Chain A
Amino acid sequence: MRVLGFILVLIYGIVLIQTSDGQRSRKEPGQTSLNEKVQQLLDMSGKRALMRFNGNKFRDFIKATPRNYSMVVMFTALAPQRQCSICRHAHDEFQILATSFRYAHMSSSRLFFAMIDFDEGSDIFQMMRLNTAPVFIHFPAKGKPKAADTLDIQRVGFSADAIGKWISERTDVAIRIFRPPNYSGTMACILLLVLVATFLYVRRNNLDFLYNKTGWALMASVFCFAMVSGQMWNHIRTPPFVHKTPSGGVAYIHGSSQGQFVLETYIIFFLNAAVSLGMILITEGAARRGDVKKRRIVVIVGLALFVVFFSSILSIFRGKAHGYPYSFLFK
């Protein structure tokens, strides 16, 4: 009798648990099961490798707990009025990455890519306490994102390769990136050639401008000034235009000899060109024949350009090379 009673209690208990379970699932009809969720995600990502989420979808697919897939989400602000230019680049790179992943693993449900635009889910931005864009966060299959699950854009950048490497570190999914072949460079080259060719063809009866030595000399000099003022360094290293100091001031000249700002190189370009111009004026003043007064003025202007601007280059140089002892006119 006692045994029977115990069994009854047990059965009752089981029934109770089952019914309560059933009640709970009935209580939240929006909550879909894991399999359905994965299927939905696969469908969505089959259409579009980089899924566009809003607040509700974010809660359903990312915040809701039973998950067996990783999610890499880009928080961004693509609307033109937000004026986020790097968001556009980041989006392109992320798109390439997502497409290459989908292309290689058609039916993989381990990893999904999503993006949330600030204008479609600003509540999510508040929830995640984000106030910058773009931000890349990896939501692992188990547990909450750790600090390392946010991509350090400052350090590694947001090129598809860098994001791919970061993802492979976080999820052990290696992604081989297929870039759509970039014909823009080739096209630009061909276009330029065609333009030049048509120009030459149109003006075939008057090709004297090709023999204009001043034009050629100007082009060669400008190229030399560009190179000598470190534009190639700017191209490779992409330094900031100017440096804004924390105290609110603006530094135009990089303090050390190892670096430079873009504006600084423009200043140097101008100074170099002015010195050369000064020297040319001095020479021309003596070489030309004609009004002596005019020539004398030309020579004096040339000398002033030459001396003053060279001294200013020297003083900038002196500021960067610590311990350089020489200066001229200016300290």
Chain B
Amino acid sequence: MGMGAFGDPRPKRSLNAEKQGLFSNASGWKSLITFTVLALAWISGFASRLFAVIRFESIIHEFDPWFNYRSTAYMVQHGFYNFLNWFDERAWYPLGRIVGGTVYPGLMITSGSIHYILHSLNIPVNIRDICVFLAPVFSGLTSISTYFLTKEIWSPGAGLFAACFIAIVPGYISRSVAGSYDNEGIAIFALQITYFLWVRSVKTGSIFWASLTALSYFYMVSAWGGYVFIINLIPLHVFALLLMGRYSSRLFTSYTTFYILGLIMSMQIPFVGFQPIRTSEHMAASGVFALMMAISFLKYVQTILTKAEMRYFYMIAVLGAGGVVFLAVVLLTYAGVIAPWSGRFYSLWDTGYAKIHIPIIASVSEHQPTTWFSFFFDLHILVTTFPVGLWYCIKNINDERVFIVLYAVSAVYFAGVMVRLMLTLTPVVCVLSGIAFSHLLGLYLKEEETMSTPDSDSETDDGSNEKSSRNLYDKAGKLRRMRHEQIKESDGLGSNVRGLIVMAMLMMLMMFAVHCTWVTGNAYSSPSIVLASYGQDGTRQILDDFREAYYWLSQNTHNDARVMSWWDYGYQIAGMANRTTLVDNNTWNNSHIALVGKAMSSNESEAYKIMTSLDVDYVLVIFGGVIGYSGDDINKFLWMVRIAEGEHPKDIRESDYFTERGEFRVDSEGTPTLLNCLMYKLSYYRFGELRMDYRSTPGFDRTRNVVIGNKNFDLTYLEEAYTTEHWLVRIYRVKKPDEFNRPRIPLSDRKIKRSKIFISKKTNKRKKGSIKNKPTVVKGKKPTKTA
């Protein structure tokens, strides 16, 4: 894929400056080495994402990927247009969901077209396998596009470093292991290739590259909601360049082409629709477009006015135009033409906003702020080296480096606010760290004569950088020989110091690689629908309760059965059990979720009213008390209460679920409201009878390490339908109104009276039964037919 493009004309330029050494045809060697390194990066990136497949099996992970997989399978089966018009009545019962208009279809189209191509080549691959391996394959494409981006910004050597970093860095692996079939897997590729094409088009100023940028932006829009980052970052770059007085006709051409084409194309995605011209998130782009037009007009005016007048006029006009655009946006927002910032975006600026106003956003662990620990965990040494790259980019600033600086600063802010956005930070960290390492090692691995070449401005040192990076390529295999060669030369710093530095750097890079592998293997490779527990002797036990329960649902319930569960499990129930759910991970309707939360947190009879009004047939809860699984519903319960309280403040109060001392306890000191709510009862039904081993008391909850408070209770309105092997999933059937509390009517009040004595209506004569047309059988003779 695109590997042929490496025969770039640029390396040839430095051929003259190249020392003719062992490599007689340097550009050929260069291409070969580039090709090899990128191929190895792809392979190692692919391989390190396969932990989950090797340890478990080739399955789809977690929650959202199940929906993506289900809709991909639907699209492959029914065709693209039917997919766009798909109304899914199995979700959000009784509302349903218009799937075609509420998804980013890029992911499904990508894997669907791969499936189509492979099948037209007569390679029979199941769509599930394509979905599982899509993200690892795309990680290779990501590292190649990162190489190109870094090459545009600094040098090919830095590009190779960046490509290798992004292939294995945990911050990106976390979202792209085999089986995590999610938008981010392909979106980071789209992001990087868009940025590469943008930088390229700013450099060249050609409409061709700008159109390609718009095309890849279109792909990004179709793939992920994070496209908003692009449509704000590129205008920010243009704006910064304008402020720095770096306006050029190249910039004008590339931005206007990109903006117009990108705008029109992004509106072709049904889910995006008219948002690009109607919401605040997109207004920066059009504002900068207007500014660009104003400035190009001024440039025209400049040809008429004198220079001295122009300088002041120019500054005032730029500031004035910016202010007018800003005011226009504000006014239009007030007038209601432009929708204000949506909650998710708004919470990025006003960091306290989500916590107070939108519990459903605050409840998702991905939307939490990031600790330094997470940064180090996901990026390791890159956390400390990317500011070095940033430093040198600013020191040697030019048009495209402004871009990478803005990218770094904005992405690091967003990553600080939200753990999830670590994903957008990771690529730029890899790029900048690649620059830092390449710059450093380039100086230390260089041969002596070239030390004397001046290394000041970025524009002039392109050649020397490339030269140094040429030496970088072979650092992995041939380093030892290089150092031996250097010993005999007299050197400014001395070969010992150089050797020490190079060794230290290699040591750090090795530690980085080891760290990445450890993190990937231990933290990011759990499918989370299949759990593994390790015994003391190292034996592994697979807990397959989720699939067991979903399979039971699919085999033992009616096809139209409606299953109520907390929204986390909606996609899995729909994907694996193929049953109707009330709420799912597409949390578009807060009040519906609050209704489910209310049912879970009220007592049985109140909950029954809600459940009958929603036609619930089965209730599914996740319970980890037997095996000590901490992500179960009781631990999530407070969020259910909070979300329910948000919509029904009169019926549900969070404080009712806390003890006097403000603790959330399920043991005998827990509040009566908690000990009698539906979620408690469904989780702990008959748990009081369970004794896990001889020493422990019955009803001991291993997750919360307490003996539960309410042990002996019966369910009136529900009955246990199925509990999996390790009690991880418990399914209950909701009784019909005639099945419970059925009052016993005394005999005298019954409409239809029944006495116990059986009176036959037959008369004496007819009492004896006979068979019609009975053949008369005489022994020894054939039966004769009568009549």
Contacts and interface: CB of A to CB of B under 8 A. Distances in A.
A299 B497 contact: yes
A95 interface: no
Interface string A316-327: 010011011110
Main secondary structure of the interface of A (DSSP, over half): helix
Contacts of A268: 372
A161 B649 CA distance: 14
Interface string B364-394: 0000011111111100010111111011101
Contacts of A169: 653, 655
Nearest to B408: A224
Main secondary structure of the interface of B (DSSP, over half): helix
A300 B369 CA distance: 37
Contacts of B417: 232, 236
Contact of B384 (A237, A272, A300): A272
A323 B387 CA distance: 29
B332 interface: no
B501 A299 contact: yes
Interface stretch (B83-91, B435-443, B714-722): B435-443
Contacts, number: 161
A152 B501 CA distance: 57
B315 to A, nearest CB: 10
B386 A303 contact: no
Contacts of B381: 310
Interface of A: 147-148, 152, 154-155, 161, 166, 169, 213-214, 216-217, 220-221, 223-225, 227-233, 235-237, 257-260, 264-265, 268, 272-273, 275-276, 279-280, 282-283, 285-287, 289, 292, 295-296, 299-300, 303, 306-307, 310, 313, 317, 320-321, 323-326, 328
B485 interface: no
A310 B511 CA distance: 11
A276 B386 CA distance: 8
The 6 closest A-B CB pairs, nearest first, are: A232-B416, A286-B443, A217-B394, A230-B372, A275-B384, A155-B662
B394 A231 contact: no
B662 A225 contact: no
Contacts of B371: 230, 233, 257-260
A224 B432 CA distance: 12
Contacts of B511: 326, 328
Contacts of A317: 373, 376-377
A216 B662 contact: no
Interface stretch (B47-55, B349-357, B685-693): B349-357
B413 interface: yes
B250 interface: no
Contacts of B383: 228, 272
B409 interface: yes
A25 to B, nearest CB: 40
Given A233-B371, A321-B377, A326-B518, A217 B443 contact: no
A278 to B, nearest CB: 9
Given A224-B390, A264-B372, A276-B388, 7 more contacts: A148-B655, A213-B397, A217-B390, A217-B395, A220-B390, A221-B391, A283-B392
Interface of B: 351-352, 355-356, 369-377, 381, 383-388, 390-392, 394-395, 397, 405, 408-409, 412-413, 415-417, 436, 439-440, 443-444, 452, 455, 492-494, 497, 500-501, 504, 507-508, 511, 514-515, 518, 522, 653, 655, 658, 660, 662
Contacts of B374: 257
A213 B501 CA distance: 27
A82 to B, nearest CB: 26
Contact of B514 (A265, A272, A280, A326): A326
Contacts of A225: 387
Contacts of B390: 217, 220-221, 224
A129 to B, nearest CB: 17
B409 A265 contact: no
A233 B369 contact: yes
A232 B373 contact: no
A155 B658 contact: yes
B412 A296 contact: no
Contact of A310 (B384, B436, B443): B384
A228 B501 CA distance: 26
A154 B662 contact: yes
Nearest to B498: A286
A228 B409 contact: no
Contacts of A303: 500-501, 504
